[in-house]
Amino acid sequence: LPVCHSRTPTTGPSSLSFRSHTCGELRSAHVGETVTLCGWVQYLRQDLFVILRDFSGSAQVLIPQDESVSHLKAALCNLTIESVIKVTGTVRSRPAGQENKAMPTGEVEILAEGVEVFNVCRKLPFEIKDFVKKSESLRMQYRYLDLRSARMQKNLRMRSQLVMKMRDYLCNVHGFVDVETPTLFKRTPGGAKEFVVPSREPGRFYSLPQSPQQFKQLLMVAGVDRYFQVARCYRDEGSKPARQPEFTQVDIEMSFVDQAGVLSLVEGLLQHSWPAELGVLAAPFPTMTYEEAMRDYGVDKPDTRFGMKLIDLAQVFSSTEVEFLRSALDQPGGSVQAVCVPSGAELFSGKDLEELKQTAKTQFGQELSVVLVRADGTLKSPLKKLLSGSATDELLQRTAARPGDLLLLAAGPLPSVRPLLGNLRLRCAALLESRGVSVRDPSAFHFLWVRDFPLFLPKEEAPGQLESAHHPFTAPLPEDALLLHTDPQKVRGQHYDLVLNGCEVGGGSIRIHKASEQLHVLQSVLKEDPSLLSHLLEALDSGAPPHGGIALGLDRLVSIMVGAPSIRDVMAFPKSFRGHDLMSRAPDFVSEEELKSYHIAVTWPAEEGEGEGSNKE
């Protein structure tokens, strides 16, 4: 074969660089070409081979054994793992029988003809191999090493590609305008979860907003028509394991649109940007009302990848004399509900059942009745002797329980029973899966819209008062608008949540666009001081179009797409669950002097010893 010198390509990942190809792209078709690769030494084998790795994969470099190029051999054999080099050489077929089918470049190797060592790597705290187990805190402290793993490279690249395609769809297909909104903003009244940022004016603080909600609505009033932003948002919740102090949402708002328009847009958006390797996304997505979700799944973000729905047993027990069932059903809003766990009686141990009961008691303050259906169809339960034969038959029929199944029963007010069984439904699914039963297809993506949420909920601390279920800018359903003045608690809002595999990955609404309606909600329903939102009320009074939108939680969405257990696995530099950057050790102390220009001083707690150890996670 004639020797063919590859030049740096003008486009693609090797353009403008020292290399001619990436490590992962070489195939038999390249045999005979002279190529230049740059990358990290994955490992050395018997002074014969160097496996060179970059983001795209790895390639086998053959170390020449010829005396005339002994300097080359010396340079390569002295390398430490993870050193960074450039290798020029000729692509050859591997000798017959030495191909590696598990390696995409396994048919070829590169006979080294020149090498440049860019950097020699010292001993590392852990090896860059996906199968090497590392503690979370070690991964975070050496994040720049952790990110070298194939898994993290894939996660970051899939995220980048997803966002790129989303932007393409919004800008180029539907005429959206990418607008950046400020993150140094005014504090929301009572915004306890907002970080404050002191200014150089004594006593005055900016605040890092939890979302661009006000700005996106103001942009609609401003006639921008269609806005989107991949927006950084902030939420200070102290230490919550699943949360990050800063996170990203794909923020969207449109004018002259109704709920159906927003839902269509998002469905098209996800179809357009969905990675081919994850399969085809069918649209429109199924839709469910809040009431249906709570009724069937006991939760407003149901995982619809499996059944095990909540079953209402009010009819079965309509004439029961069993004390706790009777008293539950006699109360207004009282109910008896069950979940049937297929094979639960077979597969769950006594300890499992005890834990389910404990969960009901400690986390939900409720009693759980457990009914096992034996192989012969008879029941095993404390309830058994209290039930007549016909009640037993009716129970089995209504729940469609079969031999080997498990029934979980709860009795009480609906708003207590549903969340309990909704939670146990998910626990039982996980438990079944841990016993080898396939309940949820891990490669399935079940998107679902949940809509018609209540617009207001009773305040937890003062149930006589109402608070917004989502935020005070959500418009009521048109058919419920009059109830705003007579029975606000019955009003359903034009809010919609996007749910994926049982996780909320987005939420939005059609907004109130009339100042008078917004004022009524703030002043008369929520009893809030409307002057705090005077700029928004004034804006609505200045020619506001009907508008609505949505925000997608990008971190959560991507983490589900890549099958990562945590959103930390789809962020380059996440904080620990205590909000620390373990690499740079942020947050850190700042001198009194430096705080002076912000007119603040630290108020040290009287007793608590801090300092040593407070760095630890």
CB of 495 to a second copy, least distance (A): 19
Q: How far is CA 76 from CA 23, 45, 121, in A?
A: 17, 11, 13
Q: Residue 401 is which amino acid?
A: A
Show contacts with a second copy in window 152-211 (CB under 8 A).
153, 156-157, 159-161, 163-164, 167-168, 171-175, 177-187, 192, 195-208
Beta carbons of 457 and 490 less than 8 angstroms apart? no
Closer to a second copy by Cβ: residue 1 or 192: 192
Closer to a second copy by Cβ: residue 527 or 596: 596
Contact residues for 414 (Cβ-Cβ < 8 A; gap 6+): 333, 334, 335
Closer to a second copy by Cβ: residue 377 or 587: 587
Show contacts with a second copy in window 74-133 (CB under 8 A).
82-84, 86, 118-119, 121-122, 124
Instruction: Compute the distance between CA of residue 33 and CA of residue 352 in angstroms, rounded to an integer.
Output: 62
481 contacts a second copy (rule: CB under 8 A): no
With CB under 8 A, what is the number of residues at the site for a second copy? Answer: 136
- Is 175 strand, coil or helix? coil
CB of 104 to a second copy, least distance (A): 17
Contact residues for 361 (Cβ-Cβ < 8 A; gap 6+): 367, 368
Six token digits for residue 292: 């249906």
283 contacts a second copy (rule: CB under 8 A): no
571 contacts a second copy (rule: CB under 8 A): yes
Q: Give the residue among 407, 420, 438, 295 at the shortest CA–CA distance from 365.
A: 420
15 contacts a second copy (rule: CB under 8 A): yes
CB of 559 to a second copy, least distance (A): 14
Judge residue 592's burial from the number of C-beta atoms within 10 Å of its C-beta, 0-12 exposed, 13-18 middle, 19 or more buried: exposed
Show contacts with a second copy in window 44-83 (CB under 8 A).
53-55, 82-83
Contact residues for 598 (Cβ-Cβ < 8 A; gap 6+): 198, 199, 200
451 contacts a second copy (rule: CB under 8 A): no
612 contacts a second copy (rule: CB under 8 A): no
Closer to a second copy by Cβ: residue 153 or 343: 153
Closer to a second copy by Cβ: residue 430 or 573: 573
Closer to a second copy by Cβ: residue 384 or 514: 514
Closer to a second copy by Cβ: residue 57 or 488: 57
> Which long-range contacts link 49-52 to residues 24+ away (Cβ below 8 Å)?
49/109, 50/76, 50/79, 50/85, 50/87, 50/112, 52/23, 52/85, 52/87
Select the span of 331-339, 372-380, 438-446, 535-543 touching a second copy (CB under 8 A): 535-543
Six token digits for residue 187: 């504090």
Show contacts with a second copy in window 227-266 (CB under 8 A).
232, 234, 236, 238, 245-246, 248, 254-258, 261-262, 264-265
Q: Residue 146 is which amino acid?
A: D
Nearest 5°: CA angle at 377, between 375 and 380?
Answer: 85
CB of 220 to a second copy, least distance (A): 9
Show contacts with a second copy in window 375-404 (CB under 8 A).
none
Closer to a second copy by Cβ: residue 93 or 119: 119
- The number of CA neighbours under 13 Å toward the Cβ of 170 is 25
